[in-house]
Amino acid sequence: MPRQLSRRALLAGLGGTALTACAGNPAPTTDSATDTAAAIPPADGPRVITLDTAELDSAMTLGITPVGAARAPADAGLPDYWPASRLAEITHVGEIGSPDGAVIRHLKPELILGNQTRDGAHFETLRRIAPTVLTPTTGHPWKANFQQHAQALGRQAAAEAVVGAYQRHAAAVAQQLASAGLSGHRISIVRFVANAPIRLYARQNFLATLLDDVRLARPDQQNAAQFAVEIPADQIARADGDHLFYAVYGDPDAAGATATLASPGWQALGAVRAHRAFPVNDRLWFQGIGYTGANAVLDELQRLLGA
């Protein structure tokens, strides 16, 4: 299980601000993950296996708890913005990108959902177990992928309600941000990933679509038509924005987060000096790709921006 950031590192990352808003980087409560979403009741549906977090969000949002799901390699469990009672019903079927065919076969699925980015190489094996639907990729086209998942699950009417609820929620958040004078503020999104460069998230990813939906802008360094810009720690000045949200995937030391958050370069960022740099839950913000995850991120975004 990845080691969590220490209190000292968290304080350093916040630039010494009070911990009332984001101490300990808590996962959102069940209510915060669902109270702005369409209320889709549990439904009878196929015995489905989900091979990535977007597919998991789609099935759960549509009222169908998978019989099995793959988890992120650096995490001990599935995204924790879902109620523990529902997650307890799901059998782990290996890591994302490395599904365990024997476990999947034992669960006798009627449908397998995934994407070609992670599991294109496993398609022939998977389709021999059960009908398998792989979207071309994940992340940025999450709204179109959700429609494919809904069709495969036979939940198109429920999907329509989910989309409508999200659109109303995003419009309300955008209005609140505008009323607070935050429209056009530049939002920096930073992810520390174990054994990899620091990622500045650009415009072709899940989070970028949410910021577009609520009419928030991006810093010049992140205003690019690509997934992310990778930088070494000594270029952390490129991560600045009016507000900054960051998360850690994997061990904080291996991700460079511990050292970077304590560095003079991080402390010199305008967002940090202004107490506008916030740690967020990686499993929600970066892995919660779907409508329930999106609603929860918008709730947290609005709260942290003070709108």
> Are 7-28+183-305 and 44-154 equal in CATH topology?
yes
Q: Which of 85, 44, 48 is nearest to 70 (CA)?
A: 48
CATH topology of domain 7-28+183-305: Rossmann fold (3.40.50)
Residue spans of the chain under pLDDT 70: 1-39, 41
pTM: 0.87
Work out the angle at residue 173's Cα, subtended by the Cα atoms of residues 171 and 178, and round it to the nearest 5 degrees.
Answer: 95
Per-residue pLDDT at 307: 75
Residue 172 CB-density burial (10 A; 0-12 exposed, 13-18 middle, 19+ buried)? middle
Distance CA 268, CA 191 (A): 18
Per-residue pLDDT at 37: 54
- pLDDT tens digits, one per residue of 242-272: 999 999 999 999 999 999 999 999 999 999 9
Q: Which of 239, 249, 240 is nearest to 5 (CA)?
A: 249
For the chain, what are the domain ranges?
A: 7-28+183-305, 44-154
- The answer to whether domain 44-154 has CATH 3.40.50.1980 is yes
Positive or negative torsion for Cα 5, 7, 8, 14: positive
- Note whether 113 and 58 are within 8 A (CB): yes
